[in-house]
Homo-oligomer: A and B are copies of this chain.
Amino acid sequence: MAGVAGVSTATAGRVLGGYGKVSETSRRKVEEAAQRLGYRANGLARSLIQGSTETIGVIVTDVGNSFFASAVRAIADEVRAAGYEMLLANTDADPQTEQRALRMMWEKRVDGVIIAPQGSGSVGHLRPLVDDGLPIVLLDRPLATLPEVDQVIINNTSCARSAVNHLIELGHRHIAVISEAAHDFPRLRSVTLAGGDAERPSAARLVGYLAALRRAGIDADEDLVVHSPYNRAAAERAVLGLLRRRPEVTAIFCTDNVLTSGAVAAIQRSGRRCPDDLSVIGFDDQDWTTLVRPQLTVVRQPRYELGSAAAHRLLQRIEERRSAPNNRSRAENTASGDAPKIQEAQRLVLRGRLIKRASTGPIPPG
């Protein structure tokens, strides 16, 4: 390449890499040769030497879920605008898959990571990267034992609280919730009593449900806290079971978009009329919630904004680190006697809100 252009590799590099000073004449020669040879830079070599890949890693549990699809879309937009690329991985909430993805991305030298951790096991997977000083942003789920890491989340507990409050105000007393975290009911009940919060969105929403009941002086009934995995068919079965088992239930709060569609299907199949016999609140304001009859009352969460905020935060951290790579690794940090200069972690909470529509109504007489 440099040979064809009749200059040294150094000059060629300066032109192609856009650094240093080059005369117009040699610039033209190089560009022409590059054109002719169909030259393309080797990003690997460049990254190897510069120590940055202009690539971030994104790890979610399921891009197929519309919630994450929106968030990833937002991240992609933000990242592209900054001239970065995005490595994407799915975990299906499997700890091992998550660990492997994280490790591979780390070895591929991503400049930062946005992750929706699968659970508390994630802390162990993230620890080495955190200690290494890699910028990380937690998406949608905080990790209490990783307080030094930035996070962008939704005010899940209070969203759930206002949803359930709405039902209570309408006169409902037998309010069921369908949740992926139902098995955590005993633990979460005490969390509520202590006024605390919970890590996973599903748990946080359940806490909100419990808090609302408690404030209204309604005893939480474990049998009305029904469990379902994130799977429409399973949710449908779970809700059908509930309605058969506890016909006195007059309202259902769904804590996730797929649980919502399962619940709506179940109610339709059960023959109960909504909202006359049964009120429903869904989670996540998807397009179809205004197409069904009655239109669904839902908690809308800013999914796209969640993604852009996370990406924005991450890119900012990467930029910070680039201009001041003090906090390289724990090893170096401990070695140098400087002030640790550990950046305060940022905790960004975006607000969802209740959209009242036609699927919620006053408690039926009788």
Residues of A within 8 A of B (CB): 38, 40-45, 47-48, 53, 55, 62-66, 69-70, 72-73, 76-77, 80, 85-90, 97, 101, 103-109, 128, 131-132, 232, 261, 264-265, 268, 286-288, 290-293, 304, 331
Contact = CB atoms under 8 A, between A and B. Distances in A.
A89 B97 contact: no
B106 A90 contact: no
Given A44-B108, A63-B63, A64-B73, A87 B90 contact: no
Contacts of A40: 103, 106-107, 128
30 contacts: A38-B131, A38-B132, A42-B107, A43-B109, A44-B44, A44-B108, A44-B109, A48-B48, A53-B108, A63-B63, A63-B69, A63-B72, A64-B69, A76-B89, A80-B89, A80-B101, A85-B89, A85-B101, A85-B104, A85-B105, A85-B108, A86-B87, A86-B88, A232-B287, A265-B291, A288-B288, A288-B291, A288-B292, A291-B292, A293-B293
Contacts of A80: 89-90, 97, 101
Nearest to A51: B44
A65 B291 CA distance: 18
A72 B87 CA distance: 12
Given A38-B128, A40-B107, 13 more contacts: A41-B107, A42-B109, A43-B108, A44-B48, A44-B108, A45-B48, A55-B108, A63-B73, A64-B304, A80-B97, A85-B104, A87-B87, A291-B292
Contacts of A77: 90
Instruction: Give the number of times this chain occurs in the complex, counting copies.
Output: 2
Contacts of A103: 40
Residues of A contacting B: mostly? helix
Q: Top 4 A-B pairs ranked by shortest CB distance?
A: A288-B288, A64-B73, A69-B69, A43-B107
A43 B105 CA distance: 9
A127 to B, nearest CB: 10
A9 B272 CA distance: 72
